[in-house]
Structure 1
Amino acid sequence: MAVVGALGHVWNADAYFNTGYMFQRAADFEVDVSQTGQVPALYQSERYFDLKQVDLVYNFPVSVPGKYLVELHFAEICDCVSKRKQRRFHVRIEGKRVEKKLDLFRDHGWGVAIRRLYELLVKDNAVTIQFQKKQGNPKISAIAIYPPGVAAQLPTTPLPVATSASPASLTTPPATTTSKDDASAFQIPIYRINCGGLSFFDSKTGHEWYGDLFSSTGKAIEDASIQVTNNGVDRYLYQTYRRGTNKEPSLVYNLPAQSQVGEPVMLLLHFLEFCADCERTFHVYVGQTRVAKSFRTMDVTGIRSRAVVVPFFGRISDDGMLQLRLEYAGTNKDWPLLMGIELYGREQTATQTQDVASASSSASLPAATSAPAPTTVSTSQSTPAGSILYRINAGGHSYSAASGAEWQEDNHFGTGVANVQTSASVPSATEPGIYQSARVGDGLHDVVYQVPIPIRGIFTVELYFAETCDCATHIGDRVFGVTVEGLQVASRLDLVAAAGWSRAFVLSVMVEVTDGMLNLILSQDPATLPPVLNGLQIAFEEATESAVTTTMTTLVTTSTTTITTTTTTTRSLTTIPDADQPMGYVALARINCGSTAAYVDSHGRLWNPDYGFVGGTSFEMPELGIANTRDPRLFQSERYGLGTLRYEIPVPAPDLYFVRLHFADICPCTLGVGSRIFKVCF
């Protein structure tokens, strides 16, 4: 089921997997989350798989190719693992192996949460993550994916201050320094990067190293033959490295710095010279400042195959980034190389606890396809719930409704074809004008919208549909999926089945947006006609991050944004424990039958609009009082059938499932005992 994590961020229920089994611990099961800063509930459930012939695979649809940041969360919570090598597995993302023989118990022990980060180039419209069996069952607790532009920012919590920065025997004074640069003042580790290599746990120092992140030049190389003469170091760190190339001799890292702009930081750079004939020489720049001229590792160590850690100091630039550049200064093509980077701050600032969305102002927005007037939204405490951010007339021009509502012409789409039908008539519609145009899939790709969202919070998204094409008058002619911010609202939406031909159908769902962009995907079913959308409305409900408020002006003609951050106090989300959930089960679906609107109940659980039904008719009594429940709204709508009413709800794999059905007789047609009797079959 969905989990409200740190800072009120919503983690959606499990989706996009190919197979596997769910495992759930009780709500009071203890997990050590000191290394991740997340809530224990995120690690109290997991997906695992036990067949060596088939990998556990997640395929996450994304709207555009680019460099994505993938965040994986793990914790060993199964009683079946009590010693090392009982569970080991590989992880591949986009075909690249990012974890080799990952052993959670060996590296971290039982019940300890960890987070791993990976930056990868996605060339198509899906992020594919594979978990491959080595020994025991591959497993995963949680997954987050950050899009291009936002991927340059690390999530929330700095690394725990568990041990010293580096073994004292390795550290040498910096090549250049000033009196104000005191390494002992920098005690807050922000992150550690294993240049050119995979993420790993250094058992000798207790350090967690991320895989190679944030490089913009160079080549990643792994060489197990490299000798390391130092004692007390993990050789793997020095047997992988990133090196300059003929095309790009200099080595550049653009490091997100989770401190206030202008704050000082310390970089610990790990070097080892293994080449017998090389005269490797380069300048070191931190930001725009050259902190070392004609640096040679051999000048520091005096011998080859000896690792050394050199501290350098700098300040964060105005864009919240810190650039590290090793500039080639040799003559014989001995390109600069680097084994590891550690970034430290002097103190944990408030900005270090902000999420990746705090940097989304620098994310490139999709190119606008029209030129409506600029939209300005202020996210202060005075912004009332229900404020409309967008009304988009999909496939059409700007439109003034009879109700006074102003609809923008179609924009913020990534795919699809505009289709105008001025003769289309939808008599059941409250806004008939928007059904005279639509954005329709091209038959090859999903219909995708990426709408810039200036407010970090909860939103109500309303999707307007009507089947008006003569080519789709029967059930099954056009079927498609609907996903909003990763939440699958409908797996197989059939407008004719749901509402009838030439009749309006509105889907409403509540989602949280944390990265500055609301993503909508209408997924193509190749066996039927392409997806269609007539209108899109987005309304603000409530902010979800305390102590942060944003004001944003979006000019859709140029796709530029201006963001000003101020300080205020907003309300964070809370949830009531799901006390009535059966032990050992995780909710795959909650359906608000007969309703086109999503609903959040008194437990904080999200009920999706009605889907999965075959036949039947919806009926609502919105003002009816319902006894014996804390959630009367859930029982004020229903789906009934004159014959057989059937629901077909997709599940991930054959297994034992628990189903709970909710009933209330709300129809005035029911005259007494015996007037409505039916059977229930599974």
Structure 2
Amino acid sequence: MKPTITYLPKWLLCLFLILTGSGITVNAQNVAPKTDLKKVLASSLDNIVDERPQQVQMLSGAPLYQINAGGWEAPDSWEEDSWAHPSPYVGPVSYRSANGIDGQFYLKKSRVSYSNMEWDFPVASGNYIVTLHFAESPNTSQVIGSRVFDVNIEGRKALDDFDILNYVGKGASCWFYYSLAVTDGNLDIDFLVEEGSALISAIEISPGMLDTQDPILSQSSRALVKTVAEGTELRIPIRAIDFDSPSDTIHIFGGDTGEPIGFETVIDYGNGYGEMILRPGYDDAGSYLLFIASEDEDGLETACNACWALVELTVTDTPEGQAIYRVNAGGWAPVDDIPIPWAEDSYLNPSPYIIKNYVTQAHSVTSNTTEAPIDIFDRSRVAWNSNMLWNFPVANGNYKVDLFFTESYFNFSGGRVFDILIENQVAFDDFDIFSEVGRNAPLQKTTSSQVNDGNLTVQLKRELANPMIAGISITYNGEHPSSTFAPEMLSFTDANEQLMMTVSAYPNPIETSMVLSFSKNVKGVVSLRFIDKNNQVRYQAVDKSDVSRTKATFSIDPGLPAGIYLAEVSVGSYKQYVKIMKK
């Protein structure tokens, strides 16, 4: 029977989050209670930081195995795992340790493996609780993304693409517990390297069973510290995995922790994937505390320190005349500048505001009279035999758009000609870089635009040869009436309910084109985005028409990788999501 002392249903979590009885609110004007809210959440959900929670202690027997992985201290029933006495339960037997943190002795050292690490524990058939402990040294040379691994227990995924630094940071520990049955006389725990190496600080195995286990978020259960500028967009991917339930039972949810703030949306894409989308307007500067969480078919019922996360958000002020987006198009590295740097747009880290394949051209520029640093002219992004479309999420308002170019391939006029459209309006017709500045010379083109739909688009439309661009800068140029993001972001569930129509896509699987069919007439813009399993937008397009219609046809980029996508269909202020497959 589940101990009532640790029972935490979803309604009680919401009670703590909303704090209806405490009078605490968190918004741009009143942010002092952050610490108090954290204490409430911590005391409710996270009983003990470095030990198993009381619930697990009550439901488990005396430990069968306690392994100080990578360490030589072994008090009581603990076993060392050192160079002199490696654990007999791990393979490969090669030994490498890493420093951990002060505190519990089993967190001072960790075992590290640059290949897959397999632990096999002989046990009788029965039910067991496994607790895994992790810690990275405060002085580690690792960075987020450099040590990523999966953990399988008895062949089931326990942690997916786990990154300790991304989860809890340097100099801190985290633990996870799992309830499972063993029938073959061996309890198997595998650490599978995805990037760099795998690390484990301690393993505990005890007889016992938990009634239910909540999904585990890939984010920290402490706090995610994020910053976004007014008028821009921040997307926080959410991933949850459930050890004892199918992925289609996982529900992602979240939001504000006090008074509604109105610019956040949490979308549940299904199967443990979701994202929090933050799009503050130009009156939203301040500090906020938000939360994300996950639950399965049993709701959120356990004292789980891994099924929720706090988001400490700072929205910075964007004064008129300040750049909000800068892209070093085709550049292999970011370029420092004030007030914001020029973001990298490389093969490994492409700009999130463009979805075409990555092709570049190098240049040899020796002088520069533009407003951009000379380093952004080292390379340009090239649209290979196609058009190029950039899409920048912005709050509705007025904007200055600065575009930067250089030509290093053609040495005559008329070799490379393309149109430049801003917000679907031609800003520069039959544009030819060489005819304006010659070869290997920087060029800056400036225009302005008013945005009314929540996105500023920059399109390079091919006429002769491949369009290319070296840099883009978007500057806020003042508000205009109704200066908010539009259309209003809707949740996955609400969007499908409010659209009040059936949307189907065919053919499915798709190849080079797709038709959206609507159960009733639509008029105006129909927008389409493909979102992959990593919550990245891989394709986007719009179909504009003033004619009422029940179908909209889209050409699909042949370079779009094969796979399953979530197609986001927007009609006016409504959205619907359809799963599609690309051959």
TM-score range, shorter chain: 0.3 to 0.5
TM-score by length of 2: 0.32
TM-score by length of 1: 0.28
